[in-house]
Amino acid sequence: MKNFVLPSPLKTIDITMIDSAVIRLRQHGNLEGPRLILAHGNGFATDAYFPFWKLLLQDYELILYDQRNHGQNPRHDNIRHHDVSYFVSDLEAILDNIQEIFGQKTTAGLFHSISAVTSIWHALSNGWRWDALILFDPPLVPSIGHPLNVIAKNFELMLSDWSKNRPERFPDPETLATQFSKSKSLSRWVSGSHELMAKSILREDTESRDWVLCCPPEGEAQVYKTNSELDLCPGFGTLKGPLKVIASDPDDPNARSPGLVNRALHEEFGHPYEAIPGATHMVQIEKPNAAAKIVTEFFKEIGFGS
């Protein structure tokens, strides 16, 4: 089993959002290269995507962040603000702070799942601020009347119901890693990823000595429910890019709604799209080499950073 060791950031900066929530930016990689900004899916953490982003360290400057109340960020007291609308507001503040702290540079966003949805909503409400945007399997819910609307909406509501009742405390990260490794739906992750994910989404409670989810279950559930109610697909079709969707395999026997919806939206709107054969929703952790190859080939195709 591989034991992933994350590199130390070149620089770490804590920035404060409009409601005093704190988000930690971490700079990695090649400072001479173009900039990539990365974030994660609901309930996860960007450190856990290291099997993917380590492949980009040589050629790009990477700025990693976690959504509020996730990963390396401290808990924010107001759980009502743990929602997608605040993720969008946070992204605007993050982009402003990155330019101010690290300087202006050719920049792409690489976002998975709910952070991909966040970047779509942000672009529609705040304008296009990217030289390129790559979306990994965004769990968009098509408009009412679309053949996949009910399937996608019910999938998000199922995840909401599941997450609000998930255990929040564990005796150690190894216990959660074991649970992950025994899950059939997570069986395709590359070796060592279950342990890395557990360490990335838990923090130790110094009083009780047990380990607590960084993201509170009620907040995770709230995000899924909000996403089930969003209607971003018509607007998504208006985004000109450069933009590419890298999706889960819609023909896989275990395909879920994001894979099906992303293929349908590609057929409707015609934006650049590629599904990774044999990949489920966690495409970057299951197929990191394939995902990185698609990213770099797309950058070459559009002349990103040249």
Which tens digit of pLDDT belongs to each residue from 86-119? 999 999 999 999 999 999 999 999 999 999 999 9
Q: What is the pLDDT of residue 207?
A: 79
For the chain, which ranges sit under pLDDT 50? none
Which residues lie across from 212 on neighbouring strands? Answer: 169, 203
Alpha carbon distance 267, 179 (integer Å): 37
Alpha carbon distance 25, 105 (integer Å): 16
| Residue pointed to by tokens 């995840």 | 159
Alpha carbon distance 278, 255 (integer Å): 9
110 is written with which tokens?
């690489």
Q: What is the pLDDT of residue 206?
A: 82
Q: What is the pLDDT of residue 80?
A: 78
Q: In this structure, are residues 304 and 34 in contact, taking their beta carbons and an 8 Å threshold?
A: yes
**Is 268 in a helix, a strand, or coil?**
helix
Q: In this structure, are residues 163 and 43 in contact, taking their beta carbons and an 8 Å threshold?
A: yes
Domain ranges within the chain, ordered by starting residue = 11-143+230-302
Task: Give the type of residue at 172.
Answer: D
Distance of CA 145 to the CA centre of its chain: 28
Q: In this structure, are residues 212 and 175 in contact, taking their beta carbons and an 8 Å threshold?
A: no
Task: Give the type of residue at 226.
Answer: T
Q: In this structure, are residues 220 and 43 in contact, taking their beta carbons and an 8 Å threshold?
A: yes
116 is written with which tokens?
């991909």
CATH of domain 11-143+230-302: 3.40.50.1820
Q: What is the pTM of this model?
A: 0.96
